[in-house]
Amino acid sequence: MPISEALAFDVYGTLVDPVGISRRLVEYLPLADAVRVAEAWRRKQLEISFRLTAMERYEDFGWCTRKALDHALALVDQEVGADARESLIAHYDDLEPYPDAAPALRTLRDRGQVLAVLSNGAPAMLDALLEATGLRRYFDEVISVDEVRAFKPSPRPYHHAAERLGRTPSQVRLVSCNSFDIIGAESAGLRAAWVDRSRGAFEPDGTPPDIVIGSLADLPGALAS
């Protein structure tokens, strides 16, 4: 019997909303600054992880998250106290799941699909976040790049995920809202499904995969067809 395709889900931006943390930031900052900080925080978090991997250095995603918050606050010339800073960092383990995440995962799980997480998040961050959101129950495996000490889109996390799932790369499909992640996965030999939540342009150094959807609600149908 052929081995079925496994699905590996990105977390931040795909299952949960990292920019939604602006709702917490308004407790400490004016609304306009809170939105700017939330967006810059996420952007710098990724930039730091990219640089670390390019330099063949590794610090976990928690470290990247803290450094990125400091940078984002500096951009708007704002400071928060130590307690507020720790509270904001803690809220990264309690981000809001997108409303389409649990229903789609439940449908796929009921169908017998093998589901995994493949995330840049550190293990402790992922454990806390998946428990807080109630999404942990849907996954057979939770795979962090911490296991190979290199962030996506390095090929190492994608190949590692295939090994953990007992499949060849072509038997794993990454599901992500991040086009850099899609490009990295396909470059490593995986298939991919792009969740185009922002209705934006795909990165110019790659092409959209064979599955492009606007919501996770569309994923079960797209896979079936």
pLDDT reading at 1 higher than 80: no
pLDDT at 20: 87
Beta strands in the chain (DSSP E): 6-9, 115-119, 141-144, 172-176, 191-195, 211-213
- Between CA 94 and CA 132 the distance in angstroms is 6
Element (H, E) at 179: helix 179-187
Partners of residue 16 on adjacent β-strands: 12, 97
Average pLDDT, the chain: 94
Whether the Cβ atoms of residue 125 and residue 62 lie closer than 8 Å to each other: yes
* Predicted model pTM: 0.94
- Between CA 137 and CA 135 the distance in angstroms is 5
pLDDT at 120: 97
pLDDT at 199: 87
Taking only the tens place, the pLDDT of each residue in 143-183 is 999 999 999 999 999 999 999 999 999 999 999 999 999 99
Taking only the tens place, the pLDDT of each residue in 57-111 is 999 999 999 999 999 999 989 888 889 889 989 988 999 999 999 999 999 999 9
CATH number of 6-16+95-224: 3.40.50.1000
pLDDT reading at 2 higher than 70: no
Phi and psi of 141, rounded to 5°? -140, 145
Superfamily per CATH, domain 19-91: Putative phosphatase; domain 2 (1.10.150.240)
The band of 3, judged by pLDDT with boundaries at 50, 70 and 90, is: low
224 vs 5, 26, 219, CA distance in Å?
A: 12, 42, 9
Instruction: Tell me what percent of the residues of the chain surpass a pLDDT of 90.
Output: 82
Parallel/antiparallel/unpaired status of strands 191-195 and 211-213:
parallel
CATH topology agreement for domains 6-16+95-224 and 19-91? no
Residues labelled as active-site residues: 10
Give the start-to-end residue ranges of the domains of the chain: 6-16+95-224, 19-91
3 vs 7, 83, 114, 164, CA distance in Å?
A: 12, 50, 10, 14
- Between CA 150 and CA 59 the distance in angstroms is 9
Whether the Cβ atoms of residue 122 and residue 144 lie closer than 8 Å to each other: yes
